[in-house]
């Protein structure tokens, strides 16, 4: 295990979120969860996702924000449409991205997973830059956490079926997994 300073990935904008805490077991990180997010839905760009992950989303800025403004959510990483990335939570900490979740009979996926949010939606194809960045991030993460095998890379929909649909039908799993 590397030291905590190295669990902020290099070359990425670090934007700490208060929505994280210590993992029950730092040595037990063995799942990577891919998500999509756009705020408001199906609109890209702007700082709404950053504001959301930092508990400073203005509920008056858009009607959709009124329903989510009080939620405390984060992800480890957020990949924009152009491939630029922000890291909100160090990889050794627990981000609050999965919610009620279960993988292979084990609940509370936040305890042992890393969450990556892609700026997108279930109805919009992801960009080449996002796939390139996601592959690079995955390689970096797996170098720190070798228990994250290809079989342990999943979508939010896989760990919260019926509740979540992301990364959605527009995410090209074959394209991504062939490169990792």
Catalytic residue among 117, 119, 132, 151: 117
Q: What global pTM score does this model have? A: 0.96
Contacts of 176 (CB under 8 A, 6+ apart): 131, 134, 135, 138
- Domains (ranges, CATH) in the chain? 9-39+74-179 (3.40.80.10)
pLDDT digit string (tens) for the chain, length 180 residues:
334 445 999 999 999 999 999 999 989 999 999 999 999 999 998 999 999 999 999 999 999 999 998 999 999 999 999 999 999 999 999 999 999 999 999 999 999 999 999 999 999 999 999 999 999 999 999 999 999 999 999 999 999 999 999 999 999 999 999 999
117 is catalytic: yes
């Amino acid at each position: 295990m590397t030291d905590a300073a190295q669990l902020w990935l290099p070359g990425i904008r670090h934007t700490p979120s208060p929505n994280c805490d210590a993992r029950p077991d730092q040595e037990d990180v063995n799942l990577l969860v891919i998500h999509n997010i756009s705020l408001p839905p199906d609109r890209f760009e702007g700082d709404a996702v950053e504001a959301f992950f930092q508990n400073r989303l203005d509920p008056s800025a858009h009607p959709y924000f009124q329903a989510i403004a009080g939620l405390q959510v984060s992800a480890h990483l957020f990949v924009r449409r152009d491939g630029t990335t922000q890291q909100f939570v160090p990889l050794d900490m627990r981000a609050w991205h999965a919610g009620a979740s279960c993988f292979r009979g084990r609940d509370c996926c936040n305890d042992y997973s890393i969450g990556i949010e892609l700026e997108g939606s279930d109805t919009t194809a992801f960009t080449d830059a996002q796939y390139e960045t996601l592959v690079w991030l995955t390689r970096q993460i797996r170098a720190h956490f070798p228990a994250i095998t290809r079989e342990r890379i999943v979508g939010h929909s896989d760990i919260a079926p019926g509740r979540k649909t992301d990364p959605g039908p527009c995410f090209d799993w074959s394209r991504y997994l062939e490169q990792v």
